[in-house]
Amino acid sequence: MALKATIHKAQIQLSDIDRGIYGEHALTIARHPSETDERMMMRVLAYALNVPATAEHGALELAKSLWDADEPDLWRKDLTGRIVHWIDVGQPDERRILRAAARADRVSVYAFASSAGVWWEQLANRIGRARNVAVWRIEAAQSRALAALTQRSMQLQASVQDATVYLGDATRTVEITPLHLNPSS
């Protein structure tokens, strides 16, 4: 018998001062049986960092990356179905990133875990030729602290100011400073 996804719900109150985006967003997250709390919360963080001001030209959605290799963790499609923004979390291989760069207008990767630095060293030169790819690194201690916020039903506040994210619930807040690994993109 196959294991089923666990459903998590998150209400995110977002105040992104850097981009001038404010609002409340409801997420229903189908957590794959193999997915960790840390990875799931990285998807929530990626959502908060990339949600558009309006869904007029397509909404940012959680995709089925762990169920379907042809989909990212999150994506934004325009009203014609064209992929405007492809977002992966973790450490995807070079082929996946370059394939995404050919399919989408913009690609963002949020690498986390202690091995993210080594992963990036191996890919940096080869990914540099894809001008529409932005790679971010979240320190391992920060992504682990995010995992501690995991609950089946979450009320989260996300504040972004001066490239620092404060993501928390009623009892604790995690400070996250994404490091842009390829700032020329």
Q: Render pLDDT for 119-177 as a digit per residue (tens, 0 to 9).
A: 999 999 989 788 999 999 999 999 999 999 999 999 999 999 999 999 999 999 999 99
What is the rounded CA–CA span in Å between residue 167 and residue 145? Answer: 10
Q: pTM of this prediction?
A: 0.94
79: left (phi over 0), alpha (psi -120 to 50) or beta: alpha
Residue ranges covered by each domain of the chain: 6-180
pLDDT in tens, 27-66: 999 998 889 999 999 999 999 999 998 888 789 999 876 6
What is the rounded CA–CA span in Å between residue 42 and residue 20? Answer: 22
What is the rounded CA–CA span in Å between residue 53 and residue 62? Answer: 17
Domain 6-180, CATH number (from 3.10.640.10, 3.40.1670.10, 3.30.110.30, 3.20.20.450):
3.10.640.10
